[in-house]
Structure 1
Amino acid sequence: MNQKLSIDESFINKLTSILKVNFENENFGVSELADEIGYSRSQLHRKLKDINGKSTSQFIREYRLERAMELLKKNEFTASEIAYRVGFTSPTYFNTCFHNFYGYPPGEVKNQRTISPPKKTFSKKILAIIPVLILVGLIIFNETVNKANGLDENLKKSIAVLPFVNNSTNKENLFFCNGIMGGIRDQLSKIPEFTVVSRRSVERYRNSSTPLKTIAKELEVNYVIEGHVQRIKDRAIISAELIRVDDNKILWSDRYDEDVSEMFTVQANVIESISSNLETIISPNLQNELSAIPTQNKTAYEYFLKGEEYRFKANRAFQKHDVWLELINKAKTSYELAIKSDSLYSSPYIGLAFTTFERYGDYVGDNNNINEVLHLTNKALELSPNNSLAYNIRGNYFLLINEDDKAILDYEKSLTIYPNNVGALLNLIRIYKRKNNYKEAILTLKEAEKYAQSRGQLIGLYTHYLEFYRTLNNSFFVDYYFDKIFELQTVKRFRRDRVYSFIQFRRYNDALNYVNKNLLKDNQQRNALLGALHMHKRDFKKGKIYWEKCYNQVEKEGVNSLASRTVYWGYGMCLIRDGQIEAGKELLRKQIDLYNTLLSSKESLDTPLSYYQLFFLHAALGDIEKSNEFIDKFEAANGWLFWNFVLYIGADLEAGLFEGDLEYLQASIKRGEKQLEEAQNQIKPYLPSTPPTIKD
């Protein structure tokens, strides 16, 4: 043990001696230190990790900070001068690193050493002011430099990781190339100061000759990362560069020639290099994640990357159901093979949880395996206790099955690890609204607004804003936020809630135009929505045409859309209005069985919606007592505020879709309207009379 300690101490002393000679050189980094000591970067990273738990870049940075402390105590130079003397690229970044390491800024070093006598009060005030003046001066200086460089302050650390070029002879290695690129992008997105464009947004520039400045303008970024990957058997050659687009300056570039088992270390080096060059601190949680080696099994890693690629390609919004399902199943198989190769590798369990959630989250029918998500995320957390993503997906599962308190705990754990987890914040808003805690919901929305910068995150923000305005029954602002959402979409996506908002405001023709324009494929969702809209227009003959098509698709495929979940009710009601009473009632009974199955198995995203449908269904079958029973259950489940049903039900009543005890229902609606008024009173103080200005 003592011999190992001596060897480790000797190794650290050698590194320190090398840094002592080179610490003033800001360009002396990980690669240079590794070359001097005679190690590869990956070997040095692992060696330091084993000795003291630090990455190489962290070791270098902390050495420079220790030398800076020595110089500050001598009081011979200003903090700005010392920043450059110890190899930092700017005083601002030095101040940030110093404060993060020591817990106070460089200007406070003297105060930390001695306590001035009381009569020196004036001098202490001056000393207290000086760091502030220096900081203000640095801010002004940086703003001037940024303006001179043409950098947009709102986009200062906005990054697009462009698709890496696959230089491998075997083009099937594209999944490996994309996996390296995706891993870098995902880790960068965990740094709150960075705005990182989504992979889907950058995919359109794959194999594109579009100039970088044009790409940057379209994606609204100041920096891009380009890269190349070449796979040669068990080795990978990776080159990457960080480019400031305004002046086309390469701020950092590097080349790695490593064994495939070293890819985690390579990605960590890339993240640390980019963070350092953009003068950004990596949080301890992310530092620990970057230092970890999730698996050393090459086969498991490759299967995991294949699963990620299949899951990325699966996009149900633009694919036929069978195409989407095939890709999801391929992803599932790949993750399972990864687990078979290394059962202690946590990432495939999370990938498998994602595919299971995507496969069964909206699925209605036999063999629904949604509960597997809980088992998979529990296993992932057993292997990787601080995995924010695992907490997040488990929170999504609890949200799906209406276990809100458990979901809150998981989202809060996820946020403890990465406070900028906008997805967790947005889902917490949903839960607070379900609990009628609209004040907490809006305060959480304001918290999410601090971190939301990507298009997807802003769309989530705007969605919550429009839902608050739907609760206020304000169609003008609902339209405003939908317009903002559609402006942000680089690929136009259909929004089912746009249809429901049109129904709430009785704008059926607008809803029909929206569906016909944006849902061109003949699928369950299109037919169900068109059938329902024609029913609301009291055109049951035309509604029957679409519900019949939807019914045939469901019989063949199973229910694969929330919209088509009501297929037996819609088609059954149309048959009854067409005189086919027994056939229609048989379908209504089938719809009741479906909802009872959902309620008993806890596989329903929306228990109140099930109750809502059931009191309509039992009324249509003439069982008024049962209908009233479900009105009570619906009200007890906070149904009137769920999806704004208290404002939505008027459209159903006007269409003549309720055939039960109207007086009993109206009494319940009045109580719902009182709840609505209370919710509106919570919301109004926090929402401006005009739409707030949000980054877009």
Structure 2
Amino acid sequence: MSLDTDILTSNSLMSRMKSIVLHHLDREDFDVETFAEEAGLSRSELYRKIKKNTGKSVTQFIRDIRLQKSLEFLSDGEHTASETAYKVGFNSATYFNKCFKEKYGFTPGDTEAHREEIFRLLNQPEPLPKKSKSLSKIVILIVVLLSAAGVVISIFFSQRDSSAEETPTEQTVPSSGKTNIDATVNGLSNNSVAILPMLNWTGDESLDFICFGVTDAIISRLTDLNTVDRIAPMSAVIPYKDSIQALHDIASQLDVENILHGSVQKAGSQLKFSVQLINILNNDITWSDDFIIDWVPEEAFKMQSKIANEVVMALGVDSRPYLHNDAPTSSKKAYDYFLQGFYQYNIFTKASWENSIHFFNKAIEEDPEYLQAYIYLAFTWHLGGLIWSYTTQEEAWTNYRKYLEMALTLDPDNTSIPVYLRDGYFYYELNAADRIPEISGVTAKVHMATNSDYALKTGRYEEALAGNTKWLKQEPFSGAAYALLAIDNYFIGNTSECRALLDDNYDLYKDDLNFLRETAKAYYFLGDHEKMREAVNYFFENFKERPPIMRWLKAIAADQQGDTETVKAQLAILQESYHEGRSGSPAWFLALYEARNGNYEMALEWLERSYAAREVEMTWLAQEPDLAPLGNHPRYRALLDSMQFPPVARKHVNNSIIIKN
């Protein structure tokens, strides 16, 4: 076959490969297995053909097609960066932003300023496939691969013989012979790790839950031991189920240096768990092992606990035998619904909020005694009643309290549920007292240890800073944590650190709704109106959500620019939202707008309306900078008294420019 014919054949093949990817473009779960099946190839054949013709891995090939297609969506001016991310199959707008910038040198939000470059990128011809390597190089490669294969085969048979000599007792977890404590790993690089969801290679979708269960059990076990500095939580790793992203990309997003991943296969009545620990920095397989169990569906949770225990012991993190056999539910279907709800809960859009309620309710239908399902259903209602205003505050508080109280009847000794209930009294009943009679067992100190927002709003800035620092240590990929730490530093008086946290993380996390919202507010606190306007404009250009806090900031930004029409429009929407009883605290933000402009009597009127409506943002009453001039006004102090703010919280009292009546 001639070189020209080779190229034509390669072009045809790659065109077909590209068509398959484009057909599944918006599927974030489109994985290598699906790709190979659609192409009529094995995984290894698919890899070889794409590598030979493009020089790329399968992951790079798919990602580049998605990024190229994203240029088309962004260039038409009708799609936001966030919308585009999901349309081209990215499950994270932040990760899309990172990949896009790495490839093109600018962010998706900056496409307007790069239209000529985008036109060139969209119209340049695709490069010809690479020529084959020389025969001598191929021969050398084959020799190397055969040598490596010989070593692998030798290891396999030696391990098989070793394990064959053992006679496992019933319900033990035999391994390949490498998990004895003498062979364990002594510590993790950088003491940070992410445990990715196990891949289900059994061909039986009903076993998905055991893959998630083992992953969750390992994370819980490591977290309980408190010997690893940074462990990516389950909420962070769920989106990487069946991900085709390269492991170093996942590690970068999760800010860890080690990835533990694996797969589950089934043979007869046995399940085989194959696990590897990868050191990303050195690109080394630090440790690997296989665990084989006799599959007894009725004892699934007991088995996943044993697998988790064996993995943790093999890693050398802890050598104490430990079995946690309490199943969260006896229903596999309920567990599956719960995991789906948990995934939706962590997306933070109205649609995902509604989906999470649906799945948690389905989990409870399958198992009416599923404690965690009640707790997370309560959390979901709570989320909807706060700043995003997905539902009314009354409905949010009613359901939040209802499901927590139902959870408490299932587990009367649970010490966390009363703390969650105290959150409700703080946000929905506007009770900021150090002691609340209805939750007498939960002190302010205990509350602060679990809720940094409460600590900040009651004047305990150092405690708030410590809490958010701990959160960031546990979840270093959380953009919101950086923004909240910046706000903590502002209130402590460390404005330089506040600004550094915002500036250093803005480009990376600006596609995270929670980060962008808090960052816009923080820049406003700093008096950096230009940065605040940039954040506000980016929010309105890239997200569909319109919470009252962003309308307030939009009105301020417009006011600074002399855009009276936009100011009137945003204030009118806030007033309409208040009169219709919507959540999100519209009256509160109207009060702040009036206070900023020196209309103090009107500000007090809106504050009193906000308190009467029990708007959750009233919890900022004692700390909000724009309310400092009202500090000694009797109506303002009456509101502080009504909410029972402790003396330490009353920042603005005696610091007012208003003469007390």
TM-score by length of 2: 0.57
* Residue 123 (structure 1) aligns with: none
Is residue 2:381 matched to residue 1:329?
no
- How do 1:246-645 residues align onto structure 2 when only pairs under 5 Å count? 246=282, 247-281=284-318, 287=322, 290-296=324-330, 298=331, 301-315=332-346, 317=348, 319=349, 321=350, 323-338=351-366, 341-343=367-369, 345-362=370-387, 363=389, 365=392, 367-384=394-411, 387=414, 390=417, 393-401=420-428, 402=431, 405=434, 427=450, 429-438=452-461, 444=466, 449=470, 452-455=473-476, 460=481, 462=482, 465-486=485-506, 489=509, 492-493=512-513, 494-519=515-540, 520-525=542-547, 526-535=550-559, 539-548=563-572, 559-562=582-585, 564=586, 566=588, 595-599=610-614, 604=616, 606-607=618-619, 609=621, 628-634=633-639, 636=641
Check conservation: 1:176, 1:302, Cα contact below 8 A.
no
TM-superposed CA distance for 1:328, in Å, is 3.1
State the SS of the aligned residue for 1:39: coil
Quote how far apart the aligned CAs of 1:551 are: 6.0
Specify the alignment match of 1:159 in structure 2: 193
Aligned to 2:125: none
CA distance 1:336–1:206, shift in 2 (3 Å):
closer
CA displacement 1:174-201 (0-9 Å, x = unmatched): 5664455344434433331122224454
Give percent identity, aligned residues only: 15
**TM-superposed deviation, 1:89:** 1.8
Contact 1:223 1:242 in 2 (8 A): no
SS of structure 1 residue aligned to 2:373:
helix
Residue identity in the other structure for 2:400: V
Q: What CA distance in whole angstroms lies between the structure 1 residues aligned with 2:359 and 2:604?
A: 37
Equivalent positions of 1:232-243 (< 5 A) are 237=271, 239-243=273-277
Q: Which has the higher helix share?
A: 1
Q: Which residue of 1 aligns with 2:14?
A: none
Larger RCO of the pair (alpha carbons < 8 Å, separation 6+): 2
C-alpha distance in 2, partners of 1:256/1:414? 46
Check conservation: 2:458, 2:648, Cα contact below 8 A.
no
User: What is the TM-score of this pair, normalised by structure 1?
Assistant: 0.55
Number of matched pairs: 479
Q: AA paired with 2:582?
A: V
Question: Contact 1:175–1:305 at 8 Å: present in 2 too?
Answer: yes
1:451-500 Cα offsets, whole Å, 9 max, x none, are 9343157964x556533431254432211122355477596343333222
Q: Is the contact made by 2:275 and 2:288 (CA closer than 8 Å) also made in structure 1?
A: yes
Give, in whole Å, the separation in 2 of the partners of 1:513 and 1:281. Answer: 48
CA, structure 1 residues 326+483, in 2 after alignment: closer, same or farther (shift >3 Å)?
Answer: same
**Given the alignment, which residue of 653, 666, 670 partners 2:658?**
666
SS of 2:277's partner is strand
Measured against aligned partners, the alpha-carbon deviations of 1:106-142 in whole angstroms (never above 9, x if no partner) come to xxxxxxxxxxxxxxxxxxxxxxxxxxxxxxxxxxxx7
Match for 1:524: what amino acid? R
Deviations 1:497-525 (A, max 9, x none): 32223323333232111111234234322
- From 39, 44, 68, the equivalent of 2:170 is 39
Deviation at 1:610, TM superposition (A): 9.9
Give how far 1:264 is off.
1.6
Task: Give the secondary-structure state (helix, strand or coil) at the position aligned to 1:254.
Answer: strand
Unaligned runs of 5+ in 1: 1-26, 45-86, 94-141, 416-423, 578-584, 650-663, 670-696
Q: Which amino acid aligns with 1:192?
A: N
> Deviation at 1:358?
2.0
Say if 1:467 and 1:478, in contact at 8 Å, map to a contact too. yes
C-alpha displacement of 1:276 = 0.9
**CA spacing shift, 1:498–1:394, aligned 2, 3 Å:** same
Q: Distance in 2 between matches of 1:596 and 1:218?
A: 41
Opposite residue 300 of structure 2, the aligned amino acid is: M
Q: Secondary structure at the match of 2:289?
A: strand
Please tell me whether the aligned partners of residues 181 and 319 of structure 2 are also in contact (alpha carbons under 8 angstroms): no
Opposite residue 561 of structure 1, the aligned amino acid is G
Distance 1:278 1:312 in 2: 28
- Write the distance in 2 (CA, Å) between the matches of 1:668 and 1:496: 35
Q: Which has the larger radius of gyration?
A: 1
Q: Is the contact made by 2:375 and 2:404 (CA closer than 8 Å) also made in structure 1? A: yes
- The one-letter amino acid paired with 2:298 is S
Partners of 1:312 and 1:303 lie apart in 2 by: 14
Quote how far apart the aligned CAs of 1:643 are.
11
